Structures are given as C-alpha cells and as structure tokens.
C-alpha cells in the first residue's frame, strides 16, 4: 500500500471527526524459522469498527497479541494517543484500556460463569471475594447480551456458543477503550450475533474503538468502518469500508481462485449403505428429546451434509454415532453390522471417526508437537513386537503433511504455532490415520478463512473420490451449495428436510431449518422436470 493511499485514508477519517487512538508502525515479529509479521502498519480509529482481515497465517492474531500484551514485537513501535508504549503483559495493556476476546476460548471449565468473568480481577471486601456481587454484575452483563444464563453455571456445562458469550461478557466487564474481537461470532447463532452487533453499535457510539477480525466477509462490510488486509505477514491494503466490496477483499487477501469444484458422486442408489441409522432418539434430561427418530443412510464416495441452527441436535447426532450416549435408542449399522455397546475405540476400529467442532479442546493436545498430534490416535499402527518404529511413524507424518498441504516449518514444532486452518488439517490427518470408512466432520470450517475453507472442501472432495463416506455438519447456508451430494436438515432434533444437490434452494433450507413442529413427511424439493 502506498504512502499516498495511507494518507488519504487518514485524511478521510479526520474529516469524519474520527480520532486516531492507536498506531502500529513497522511491526515485525520473528519466531524460530518464520517471520509472522514483516513491517506491518495498522491504524485504529476511535468510535469506529476497524476490521482486520487475512487468511489463516497472515499474521492477524500475532498482531493482536502484540497490541494486547501477549507477545512483544521484534521491532517496530506502538503509539497510544501519540505516545510510544510497550506492553509486557495483558495486565499492562488492560491498564491502558486495551481488552481482547481471543479466537480460541480461554475459559476455565471447572469455574462458574461469574468466576470466569472476574478471574484474576475478583471483587473483594476486606480480602474476601464478593461472590454475590460478582454474580449480580455478571447477570447484568448477560442481560445486556440478551443471554438469560445463570451466573453460577459451570462453563463446562455450556454449549460452544454460550462459552463464546462468556468470553465477550468478560471483555465488556473491563470498560475498555479499545476492544479487540478475534472471531467473536464463529460459534454464535444468528440471534446471538445480532445481539453482539447491537452491543458493538453502543460501544462505538460511546467512542470505543473496536478492532474486529472475522472470516465472515458479509458481516465485515455490515459493521465495519475501516478495513485493513494482511497477506503473508505484510500489509496488503487498507480502505474505508464504504469504498470496497467482497470481491476487493478476496482479491487483496488471497489473490487466487478459491472456488473449489463440487464433488460429483459416482455412487448408485442401489449400493448398500456404509452407514445406516434408523429411528435414533436421545432423551433430554428433564423430559423430551434432543434427537427424535432420526434416520439417514450414507454410501461410499458420498458427501452428506447435516444443516441446522444451533440447538438442532447436530453435534449430539455425531456423539451418538460415536457411542458417547449409551442412553440413546434406535439402530446404527456400519457395513450391515449393527452397533450395540461398542466403546468409542471399538467404533473407530469398525471404521468411524469424528473430527470435533472444538478442535482446541477435543481435537488437539496443546502441549504436543504437530507430529505427535497427527499420530496420537493410532500409535499402535507403528508398533512391531512391542517397539514403536520411529521411521515408519515419521514417514506417515510427512505423507500426511504433503497430502493435506499442512503448512509447517517442522513437524516437531508446537501445534499452537500453526494457523487455525492448518490446525484443522492436523485433526483431519489424525483421523485419516485410523483408516476410517465413515469420516464425520463437525463444523470443519469454523473460524478459518475463505482460502482455508476451499482447501478443506477440496480435501473432502479427494477423500470422497477415493471411496470414503463423508458426513459433515455446518450452520453456514452458503456451504450447502458448494460441496454436498445430499443435505439433511435437522430442527429441534428431528429431520425436517432432505434434498439432493440439484434440488437445493435457500428458501427450502431456511424453511426446513426453522420448522417448529414435526411433520408427517419432511420437506423435500421436487425434482425438476
């Protein structure tokens, strides 16, 4: 980006009455073997939503960690209200009025909502923590976010979207003047997202500067005032949001075609299903059902999508298929063999494998390397006569890294050093080493950019072409038109629609996803004549 362009953007901001509150100048950050940021400039305007966008690995999160005191720059400087500053910790940044909502949840599952919000900042009187006061303040914060949650609820008992709300509430409790939001809506429902946008509008009106990171491009242009694009650790472009469109963003951040071709299945309707589910039901504590009489079939080489809103029962369906709910009823068969009381390990041995939605907590071991995360689920594959063959293990690791195009300097580097998209590929690699016949992916594109999404879809295509049966969950409507051969819609635990790819329409999917009552016959689109 030219100096003239940057000056023009600044002049436009000043003419609109917006004040520069924070400037990152020539920020460079080097890690062993890689340069995460290379001379990046970034300007933050008060009372505005400052959008930062780029592919996974572009350096967005690293820059935000430097602004929030998590990391320190190798070179460059930060100017807060025109004065040079350097934060050695998040506490120092918070004292300067900078708060952050991290992309990956940073909560304590064994603590309550209120305890998480006030952790390390407890409200005390005479050295005694005022739990009741903390819960009262937490209730007010949750009410502001339109979430009627009990502040005493343990975080581990919350679903993913509710945990995201707790992260947001914790940031709001600090009365920041600059608030960094790294993928805040990645696990939120449409209603929760709208509530967050209302909060953002209120903060903006009170002069708070919002730094907003998201891979949902439409949402960026809905709420953004200024857009800055990073690419390969460098500043690619910056512009007022009103002067650009989605095509401009994709061109600046990716610079390549990201439209993955849709897989065309070669399976025949008469083929015996690899997976068959009949009348699967999961009772809900307190009465009713989380899943009720769910039936589906999946054949070799087929990609089947499960679409639905939050709370539709999609994740619970996968958990039942993997044997995590012994209280469930119904029939599950893989290759005509009925599953009964098999353990999760037993179902993996029979050919079923799940890539979970929460890759950080359920898919990866944070303290292990990329290599060890890949082989963790199937170490016995490399054991001969009680000895682990490191040569065979290393060969498989490198084969997976090449096959899935995992971007890593060294398989022995920490898994936490990889971008979100590459971490997701590692979880897929771990799953593929178990040689599954049915691969289930729960929200496989959550929190990854448009380029990484195309790569994940292409991996799914390739697996299906090799005969693998692929079953994936998504709450993103556009994804239903990209890759699946069939789509099944869940609403409140019931199948409310089933469509072949050529029968899909947005209207039919939205209608089925929002169905409130059971119908005798789920919604299906009529084939065109």
- Residue pLDDT, tens place only, 351-410: 999 998 888 788 898 889 999 999 887 777 777 767 777 888 889 899 999 888 888 888
18, pLDDT greater than 80: no
- Residue 269: pLDDT band by 50, 70, 90 thresholds? very low
Is residue 182 classed as helix, strand or coil in its secondary structure? Answer: strand
Q: Is 392 exposed, middle or buried (0-12, 13-18, 19+ CB in 10 A)?
A: middle
CATH architecture of structural domain 3-97+176-253: 3-Layer(aba) Sandwich (3.40)
> Tell me: the pLDDT tens digits for 468-500?
999 999 888 888 988 899 999 998 899 999 999
According to DSSP, the residues that pair with 505 across neighbouring strands are none
- Residue 10: pLDDT band by 50, 70, 90 thresholds? very low
Q: Look up tokens 């089933």; give the residue.
A: 498
- Residue 421: pLDDT band by 50, 70, 90 thresholds? confident
pLDDT value at position 518? 39
CA–CA dist 117, 110 (Å, integer)? 13
273-351+436-524: CATH, from 2.40.110.10, 3.40.50.300, 1.10.1370.30, 3.90.1300.10: 3.40.50.300
pLDDT value at position 520? 44
> Tell me: the pLDDT tens digits for 138-191?
999 999 888 889 999 999 998 877 888 898 899 888 888 999 998 888 777 777
Q: Which residue ranges make up each domain of the chain?
A: 3-97+176-253, 105-175, 273-351+436-524, 360-431
C-alpha dihedral sign at 136, 142, 147, 153: negative
> Tell me: the pLDDT tens digits for 424-441?
889 998 998 888 999 999
Judge if 3-97+176-253 and 273-351+436-524 fold alike in CATH terms. yes
Measure CA 340 to chain center. Answer: 33
pLDDT value at position 524? 56
State how beta strands 352-355 and 303-307 pair. unpaired
pLDDT value at position 404? 86
CA–CA dist 427, 109 (Å, integer)? 22
Mean pLDDT of the chain: 86
């Amino acid at each position: 980006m030219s100096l003239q362009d940057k000056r023009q953007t600044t002049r436009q901001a000043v003419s609109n009455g917006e004040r520069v509150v924070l400037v990152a100048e020539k920020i460079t950050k080097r890690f062993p073997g890689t340069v995460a940021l290379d001379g990046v400039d970034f300007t933050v305007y008060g009372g505005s939503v400052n959008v930062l966008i780029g592919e996974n690995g572009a350096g967005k999160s690293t820059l935000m960690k430097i602004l929030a005191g998590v990391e320190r720059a190798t070179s460059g400087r930060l100017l807060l209200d025109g004065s040079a500053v350097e934060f050695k910790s998040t506490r120092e940044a918070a004292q300067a009025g900078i708060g952050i909502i991290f992309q990956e949840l940073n909560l304590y599952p064994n603590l309550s909502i209120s305890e998480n919000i006030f952790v390390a900042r407890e409200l005390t009187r005479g050295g005694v923590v005022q739990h009741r006061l903390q819960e009262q303040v937490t209730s007010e914060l949750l009410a502001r976010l339109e979430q009627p949650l009990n502040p005493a609820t343990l975080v581990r008992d919350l679903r993913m979207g509710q945990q995201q709300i707790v992260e947001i509430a914790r940031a709001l409790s600090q009365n920041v003047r600059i608030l960094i939001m790294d993928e805040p809506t990645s696990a939120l429902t449409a209603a929760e997202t709208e509530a967050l946008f209302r909060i953002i509008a209120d903060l903006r009106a009170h002069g708070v500067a919002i730094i907003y990171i998201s891979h949902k491009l439409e949402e960026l242009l809905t709420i953004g005032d200024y857009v800055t694009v990073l690419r390969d650790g460098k500043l690619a472009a910056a512009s007022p949001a009103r002067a650009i469109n989605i095509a401009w963003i994709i061109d600046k951040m990716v610079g390549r075609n990201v439209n993955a071709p849709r897989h065309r299945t070669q399976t025949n309707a008469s083929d015996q299903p690899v997976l068959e589910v009949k009348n699967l039901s999961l009772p809900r504590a307190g009465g009713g059902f989380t899943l009720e009489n769910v039936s589906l079939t999946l054949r070799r080489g087929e990609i089947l999508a499960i679409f639905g809103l939050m709370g539709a029962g999609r994740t619970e369906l996968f958990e039942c298929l993997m044997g995590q709910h012994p209280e469930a009823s119904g029939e599950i068969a893989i290759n005509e063999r009925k599953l009964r009381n098999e353990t999760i390990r037993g179902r993996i041995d029979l050919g079923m494998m799940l890539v979970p939605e929460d890759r950080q907590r359920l898919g990866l071991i944070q303290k292990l390397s990329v290599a060890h995360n890949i082989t963790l689920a199937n170490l016995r594959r490399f054991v001969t006569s009680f000895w682990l063959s490191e040569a065979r293990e290393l060969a498989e690791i490198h084969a997976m890294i090449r096959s899935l195009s995992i971007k890593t300097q060294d398989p022995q580097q920490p898994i936490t050093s990889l971008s979100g998209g590459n971490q997701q590929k590692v979880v897929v690699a771990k799953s593929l080493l178990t040689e599954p016949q049915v691969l289930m992916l729960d929200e496989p594109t959550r929190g990854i950019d448009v380029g990484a999404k195309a790569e994940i879809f292409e991996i799914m295509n390739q697996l299906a072409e090799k005969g693998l049966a692929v079953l994936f969950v998504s709450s993103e409507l556009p994804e239903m038109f990209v890759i699946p051969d069939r789509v099944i819609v869940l609403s409140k635990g019931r199948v409310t629609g089933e469509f072949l790819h050529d029968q899909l329409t947005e209207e039919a999917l939205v209608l089925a996803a929002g169905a409130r009552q059971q119908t005798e016959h789920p919604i299906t689109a009529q084939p065109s004549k």
